[in-house]
A and B are shown apart, each in its own frame.
Chain A
Amino acid sequence: MTALSLPRPTRRAAFGKIVLNEARLTWRGPQGLVGGLALPVLLLAIFSLISPFRRPAADLGGLTPLDVYVPILIVLGLALLALYNLPTPLATYRELGILRRLSTTPVPPSWLLAAQGIVNLCVAVIMVIIVLAESIALGAPAPKNLAGFAVAVLLAIVGLFPIGLLIASVAKTGSSVGVIGRVVFFPLIFLAGLWWPRELMPGALQAVSTASPLGATVQAIQASAQGQFPPAAPLLVLAAYAVVFGLLARRFFRWE
Chain B
Amino acid sequence: MSSITVGDFLRSRGVTRRDFLRFCTATTVALGLPATMTPRVAAALEQARRPSVIWLPFQECTGCTESITRAHGATLESLIFEAISLDYQHTLQAAAGDAAERVREQAMKDNWGRYLLIVDGSIPTGNPGYSTIAGHDNLSMLREAADGAAAIVALGSCAAFGGIPGAQPDPTGAVSVADVIKDKPIVNVSGCPPIPVVITAVLTQYVTFGTLPELDALGRPKAFYGQTIHDRCYRRPFYERGQFADSFDDEGARLGWCLYKLGCRGPTTYNACATVKWNNGTSFPIEAGHGCIGCAEPGFWDNGGFYRPLSTGNWGSARTVGAAIGVGAALGVASAALARKRQRDAEGA
A and B: partners? Answer: no
Which residues on A are within 8 Å of B, measured CB to CB?
none
